[in-house]
Structure 1
């Protein structure tokens, strides 16, 4: 078994890996992602689970996956001790794609505290225990850490948030606790339809393993933590959204799902939500690039809701593009670009900070309604003046009078 986390640790102590990166982060003026909106600060730790992927199509080892855990803490961040956003290898790879110097990417600073103390007040603990633990799967070929702004914001509201990385899929994945990083597919890897289905299947298997009795629940029991291991929420970006949907189809303990700009692949196309709340948001190009999954999925959900009850929102963020639903749009907005470089990726015409605000607002409003009934009617029931970019394509509500679509 590879070296693992230490949730019981009560003092801030950066592992050798992170400590060695801090000087690099300080070599350029730090650029901090937006401060999380919740009442808590955010702790962070990681765990490497042993799990075999039969005939793994990636260059990775095929016998592990990495889980990052974001959780609320009352610990106050100390100067220059936040978890680094980038490792040097990944900064070079991704900087080349977006015309940003690796040194500037290395200047990105998070508010995450490595293995910060858990909550101690009973009221805080009861909140975390009663709200579902949320599990996130990133877009294809992307590190889950490139959604740090969103994931840390949710954790600051009182949630335990898990994210998944499959070593060998992203161009490079730095592993914790002194384990070597894993070189994966080239960043311009062409994905065939059959390969996408393979990716979906191993990701779904890993999410199910993580939420199964020998995964996260066993880890929580081992360390005596108070995290919820009975109810989960699943969400993801791109193929990660299909992963969440497919896992939701198989696991009744997943009480709700959130699809961030993701088509459906493999058997997730026919997933049954059995009336559980489900939110879908997308960029406008999905109407042309993915007409065969979202509309049938919505229609089937509506038919199921006539019997099972249900709640679904389907929205478009006008002016957005696929990768703008990640931190990447923040990198591009906040950091200097290499002069006279040719744009290689379209991020739409909504600014990074605005996309960040939109996504956080809708994601946290959805989960807070699922968790504690705090329902924002303006936001979740129709187009809102404050967020004109968000357009509703479909809304499904079940009540005693039947299903409203």
Structure 2
């Protein structure tokens, strides 16, 4: 559906609806939120966007108590109409979603808090193709509530609509049903990777932190993402030693990320059971190469499948569909699997938080990170690599998945 069509019915459908809350973040802190537009040129930008900026959303811990005056809206009206049409949800119901994010809340000031987390790696996130980073708010805010600073990137013009802060007009992008060719996906990967590298470079996030005198870590990063955002994180990790660990959420590898060499840095891969239908070999070859490198480099890798899941279920979308009323008698357009949104949200948070907690603090949950656990029977381990280069689930990492 194109934007002009949307405005014809946007107003009558956007009537008031009772507020709906995502699950509260599980960490000890509340969550502050701000955004910054970075100047960065994308040569021959394939999207309808301006090609000279990218947007970074920053999630960070705060002790400030949430209030209606500082709360951040989940949806804007334009995006609610677009995405509501896809998932058979009235725009008014999507607009009823509320976050616990607080716009530009004060940073932590307690010395004990600051000393505890100022050296934790800053986490940088890439969303799935054509999706706004805000559609992963549940996961990103949960990480911030644990004490992490989280940076999430958006490329204006890729998603159907991206609202921009500080009075700037939002950017209309590709149609939501945009067909992605293999060559276009590589172009997307290349501009995404360039933006992530620029963000972590001296003129990006480090310069912003210096300008405002914040305590955020600009020396070490963890990189993660969903779909093409995961490829972006992997490619950036290959090129930047400052990225100490990576987490791939159901993302095939594209461009030079296919041959990424991680030099033994920790890496977690999780996927839906149909992943190999669209990506038959990049994960297998990546894991096998990682295992071979680990014989000399050392290393740690987990590769799991969440049985019953689907690609978009690794985002907040599965929560929208579970928590909000659906339009009656509407035809389902997107498969979200048969794991509930709340369950998927809990699974993803549990593993991502546990992984980065180990990387950051050395607290290693052997029960969770070394194999199947009773609490999460959906999570099946396909392979593991440890420092001797051998997988504890067998050495043919691609066995059973070709």
TM-score of the superposed pair, with normalisation by structure 2 = 0.93
How far, CA to CA, are the matches of 2:290 and 2:383 in structure 1?
Answer: 11
Give me the CA root mean square deviation.
1.2
Contact conserved, 2:124 with 2:150, CA < 8 A, in 1?
yes
Contact conserved, 2:15 with 2:92, CA < 8 A, in 1?
no
Deviations 1:70-116 (A, max 9, x none): 00000001146410000000000000000000000000000000000
Contact conserved, 1:26 with 1:107, CA < 8 A, in 2?
no
Give secondary structure in 1 for the equivalent of 2:118: helix
Which of 302, 305, 310 aligns to 1:313? It is 302
Alignment of 1:333 onto 2:322:
yes
- Partner of residue 277, structure 1: 266
- Partner of residue 157, structure 1: 146
Give secondary structure in 1 for the equivalent of 2:386: strand
Cα–Cα, structure 1 residues 113 and 25, in superposed 2: closer, same or farther, change >3 Å? farther
Runs of 4+ that moved beyond 3 A = 402-405
TM-score of the superposed pair, with normalisation by structure 1 = 0.92
Which of 85, 92, 98 aligns to 2:87? It is 98
- Partner of residue 137, structure 1: 126
Alignment of 1:393 onto 2:385:
no
- Partner of residue 400, structure 2: none
- Partner of residue 228, structure 1: 217
- Partner of residue 300, structure 1: 289
Deviations 1:134-160 (A, max 9, x none): 000000000000000000000000000
Which of 20, 26, 33 aligns to 1:31? It is 20
How far, CA to CA, are the matches of 1:194 and 1:137 in structure 2?
Answer: 19
- Partner of residue 346, structure 1: 335
Q: How many residues align?
A: 380
The answer for unaligned runs of 5 or more in structure 2 is 1-12, 393-402
How far, CA to CA, are the matches of 2:372 and 2:15 in structure 1?
Answer: 43
How far, CA to CA, are the matches of 2:180 and 2:68 in structure 1?
Answer: 42
Give how far 1:404 is off: 4.0
Deviations 1:312-367 (A, max 9, x none): 00000000000000000000000000011000000000000000000000000000
How far, CA to CA, are the matches of 1:285 and 1:38 in structure 2?
Answer: 32
Give how far 1:26 is off: 9.7
How far, CA to CA, are the matches of 1:116 and 1:27 in structure 2?
Answer: 27
Give how far 1:25 is off: 9.7
Contact conserved, 2:14 with 2:90, CA < 8 A, in 1?
no
Give secondary structure in 2 for the equivalent of 1:130: coil
Give how far 1:384 is off: 0.5
- Partner of residue 203, structure 1: 192
Alignment of 1:70 onto 2:59:
yes
Alignment of 1:382 onto 2:368:
no
